[in-house]
């Protein structure tokens, strides 16, 4: 039966310890009173190929400002140290990113996506339900990406809330931010910039908004996501990548052993 472990490979009990030794566990009061949204959404599970770490990105991605208490959120200040810990721990073989997000803070989402994309360990993303808005760069940031057939991805232009200064510089800034998102998507997927820009600016699909809703198989056809598949497919691929990664690491050791054997 699967069991959850912390980053050191020890059994993980959310009530009394943190999954990361460098992150202080919640106090007894915090553990009892904290909502699910306030707890780190990550867990490492031991498999036959070693520890696989799962990072859940759900609800709204929270950035510089706190979301209302009734909103489910993923906090980037929890994701970033978690990713650093995963990358540095030799016990963990790979990362599975499970996505079901409506989007959120653009800079926070891109920061998490850039960190996942720069990881040397095997990474696989799985879009479940929805990978909307800034969730799209997060979905393509992993080395391999999957989407379930019923999932959707919403493309739309960059939006802002609050006071907006009606000056050309404001719209130029928003356009530059949008181009950063498009550049990231095209850098880590097979989709081209013209296709992504067209999906964002489509005006005949949604009655009250600009953009496009792309379903699972269509996302693969457009080159945004790698494959249609579920949890089993994502885990099988991740385990295979972990085995290949370990084989590559062991090559220098094996070569050294062969040289020593020949000299002997």
Q: How many CB atoms lie within 10 A of CB 173?
A: 14
Query: Token pair of 189, please?
Result: 């997927």
Q: Contact 133/163 with Cβ under 8 angstroms?
A: no
In the chain, DSSP assigns E strands to 4-5, 42-47, 50-62, 73-75, 92-104, 123-131, 144-147, 152-155, 212-215, 227-228
The residue written with tokens 């802002």 in the block is 160
DSSP letter (8 states) at residue 111: H
Phi, psi of 5 (to 5 degrees): -125, 155
Residue 53 annotated in active site: no
Q: Are 58 and 72 within 8 A, CB to CB?
A: yes
Active site residue 212: no
Closest Cα to residue 142, out of 26, 55, 248, 43? 55
Sequence length of the chain is 264
How far is the C-alpha of 81 from the C-alpha of 239, rounded, in Å? 24
The single residue of 133, 141, 145, 189 carrying the catalytic annotation is: 133
Q: Of the residues 145, 156, 189, 212, which is catalytic?
A: 156
- Cβ-based neighbours of 190, under 8 Å, separated by 6 or more: 223, 224
Residues recognised as catalytic = 133, 156
């Amino acid at each position: 039966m699967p069991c959850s472990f912390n980053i050191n490979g020890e059994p993980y009990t959310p009530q009394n310890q943190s999954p990361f030794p460098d992150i202080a566990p919640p106090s007894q009061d915090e553990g009892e009173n904290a909502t699910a949204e306030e707890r780190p959404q990550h867990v490492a599970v031991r498999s036959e190929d070693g520890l696989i770490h799962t990072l859940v990105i759900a609800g709204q991605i929270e950035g510089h400002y706190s979301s209302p208490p009734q909103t489910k959120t993923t906090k980037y200040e929890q994701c970033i140290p978690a990713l650093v810990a995963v990358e540095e721990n030799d016990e963990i073989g790979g990362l599975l990113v499970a996505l079901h997000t409506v989007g959120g803070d653009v800079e926070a989402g891109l920061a998490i996506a850039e960190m996942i994309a720069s990881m040397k360990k095997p990474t696989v993303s799985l879009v479940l339900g929805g990978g909307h808005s800034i969730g799209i760069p997060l979905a393509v940031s992993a080395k391999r990406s999957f989407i379930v057939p019923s999932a959707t991805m919403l493309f739309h232009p960059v939006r802002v809330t609050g006071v907006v200064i009606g000056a050309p510089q404001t719209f130029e800034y928003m356009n530059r931010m949008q181009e950063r998102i498009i550049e990231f998507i095209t850098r880590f997927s097979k989709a081209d910039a013209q296709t992504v820009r067209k999906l964002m600016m489509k005006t005949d699909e949604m009655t009250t908004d600009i953009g496009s809703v792309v379903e699972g198989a269509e996302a693969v056809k457009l080159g945004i996501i790698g494959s249609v598949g579920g949890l089993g497919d994502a885990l099988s691929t991740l385990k295979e990548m972990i085995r290949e990664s370990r084989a590559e690491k062991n090559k220098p050791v094996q070569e050294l052993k062969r040289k020593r054997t020949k000299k002997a």
